[in-house]
């Protein structure tokens, strides 16, 4: 039987980040990455909007993103790859007093953590982005630096090209447990690989993998449809990623714009269901954008595609670390749309936990599975 010190189920950006960091911290470990979709055609990484922001409500999430943006900026020095970070910020808009209060509370957390964010009155928003209708707004929050979007696939490929991990195209079909540990991973091909540690980085399929070890994990696939459109009279300047109070968001994408929204109904979907929801553009997105700016009254949809959030139904926050009962089963799951931007910090932290016995760079312990067992959510108010 083949064996590996560490087996990672899932080879997209999270699994690859862990493998690369293990190669930096403990180069003597043998690491195997198992990926069912090696072209990553349906991976959440490839289908994401590739954003990174520091505007979160939880201090740890702010710190995770601050680590991530510095790692992304260093990619050219590290790998010779420019990840094309566009630091144009995120602009959150509020149109109620309660919404403004939330922005103020979040801003206080962000500033304490060193994030470069600013609160803007409606008049200040209009002065910066004169195409916007601000008559209904009460407050805005803008990332001045350290926020924007980048080449997420390039980040994943950077990790993959420099990790030294053995990569297997295959599907995990079962886990063989003995004496409270994962002893071996069984593939659909019939092959079995013994392991010292097993890491679940299976994205939207994470709950299925966890169940193979008898573990209940509240993570499920949720569909998100992205659209690009042309604008007859595009607003000028370097625009941020704007989040309207109703949840519609958009950002520049070259000569076009990229946009999406949270669905009105957001059910669990089949892991192979990637059919776009066209009506979201016609019924939700276009009306909201046209109301926010006359520049978005004359637009034409160009393309659409659907991807999946690995959605943590308990609290929309990541689940990381070891299972308390199966000591060599590790979680890197439930990122709920934040996996691409959180991969650098999570990859580092998980590698430290495995190779050094604990978190060293950032303490990720409050993201552990124990809160799932207790049913105590770690709530994040800034979820798009």
What's the rounded Cα separation, in Å, for the pair 46 and 13? 9
Q: Reply yes or no on whether the pLDDT at 119 is more than 90.
A: yes
DSSP-assigned beta bridge partners for residue 303: 228
- As a three-state string, the secondary structure of 94-153 is ECCHHHHHHHHHHHHHHHHCCCCEEEECHHHHHHHCCCCCCCCCCEEEEECCCCEECCHH
Q: Reply yes or no on whether the pLDDT at 379 is more than 90.
A: no
What's the rounded Cα separation, in Å, for the pair 321 and 298? 48
Q: What pLDDT does residue 96 have?
A: 98
* C-beta of residue 250 within 8 angstroms of C-beta of residue 258: yes
What average pLDDT does range 195-220 have in this prediction? 98
Q: What pLDDT does residue 162 have?
A: 80
What average pLDDT does range 377-384 have in this prediction? 83
What's the rounded Cα separation, in Å, for the pair 37 and 43? 8
Name the residue among 252, 247, 251, 255 with its Cα closest to residue 288: 247
Q: Reply yes or no on whether the pLDDT at 302 is more than 90.
A: yes
pLDDT band at 214 (very low <50, low <70, confident <90, very high): very high
Q: Reply yes or no on whether the pLDDT at 144 is more than 80.
A: yes
pLDDT band at 272 (very low <50, low <70, confident <90, very high): very high
Q: What pLDDT does residue 234 have?
A: 95
What average pLDDT does range 321-344 have in this prediction? 97
Q: Reply yes or no on whether the pLDDT at 230 is more than 80.
A: yes
For the stretch 70-104, pLDDT in tens is 999 999 999 999 999 999 999 999 999 999 999 99
Q: What pLDDT does residue 381 have?
A: 80
What average pLDDT does range 236-256 have in this prediction? 96
pLDDT above 90 coverage of the chain, percent: 96
pLDDT band at 163 (very low <50, low <70, confident <90, very high): confident
On average, the pLDDT of the chain sits at 96
Q: Reply yes or no on whether the pLDDT at 384 is more than 80.
A: no
Q: Reply yes or no on whether the pLDDT at 383 is more than 90.
A: no
Q: What pLDDT does residue 43 have?
A: 95
For the stretch 4-58, pLDDT in tens is 999 999 999 999 999 999 999 999 999 999 999 999 999 999 999 999 999 999 9
Q: What pLDDT does residue 67 have?
A: 98
In the chain the domains, ranked by start, together with CATH numbers, are 2-49+153-218+314-374 (3.50.50.60), 87-147+221-311 (3.30.9.10)
CA triplet 58, 61, 62: central angle to 5 degrees? 90
What average pLDDT does range 262-290 have in this prediction? 96
Residues 6+ positions from 292 with CB-CB distance below 8 Å: 132, 133, 242, 244
Tokens representing residue 48 in the block: 């994401």
């Amino acid at each position: 039987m083949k064996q590996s010190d560490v087996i990672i189920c899932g080879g997209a950006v999270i699994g690859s980040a862990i493998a690369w960091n293990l190669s930096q911290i403990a180069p003597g470990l043998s690491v195997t990455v198992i990926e069912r979709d090696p072209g990553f055609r349906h991976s959440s990484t490839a289908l994401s909007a590739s954003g990174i922001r520091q505007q979160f409500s939880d201090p740890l999430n702010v710190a995770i993103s601050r680590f991530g943006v510095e790692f992304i900026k260093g990619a050219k020095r590290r790998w010779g790859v420019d990840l094309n970070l566009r630091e144009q910020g995120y602009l959150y808009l509020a149109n109620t007093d309660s919404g403004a209060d939330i922005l103020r509370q979040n801003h206080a957390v962000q500033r304490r953590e060193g994030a470069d964010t600013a609160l803007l009155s409606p008049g200040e928003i209009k002065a910066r982005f004169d195409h916007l209708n601000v008559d209904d707004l009460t407050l805005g929050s803008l990332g001045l630096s350290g926020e924007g979007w980048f080449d997420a696939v390039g980040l994943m490929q950077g990790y993959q090209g420099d990790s030294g991990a053995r990569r297997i195209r295959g599907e995990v079909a079962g886990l063989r447990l003995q004496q409270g540990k994962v002893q071996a991973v069984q593939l659909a091909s019939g092959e079995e690989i013994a392991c010292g540690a097993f890491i679940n980085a299976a994205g939207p399929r994470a709950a299925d993998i966890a169940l193979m070890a008898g573990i209940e994990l509240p993570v499920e696939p949720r569909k998100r449809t992205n659209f690009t459109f042309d604008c007859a009279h595009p607003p000028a300047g370097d625009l941020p990623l704007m989040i309207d109070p109703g949840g519609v968001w958009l950002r520049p994408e070259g000569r076009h714009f990229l946009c999406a929204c949270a669905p009105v109904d957001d059910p669990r979907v089949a892991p192979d269901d990637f059919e776009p929801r066209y009506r979201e553009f016609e019924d939700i997105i276009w009306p909201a954008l046209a109301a926010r700016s006359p520049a978005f009254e004359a637009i034409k949809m160009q393309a659409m595609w659907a991807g999946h959030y690995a959605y943590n139904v308990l609290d929309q926050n990541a689940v990381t670390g070891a299972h308390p009962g199966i000591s060599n089963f590790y979680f890197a799951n439930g990122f709920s749309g934040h996996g691409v931007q959180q991969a650098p910090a999570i990859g580092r932290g998980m590698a430290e936990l495995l190779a050094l016995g604990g978190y060293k760079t950032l303490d990720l312990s409050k993201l552990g599975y124990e809160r799932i067992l207790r049913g105590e959510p770690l709530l994040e108010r800034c979820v798009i």
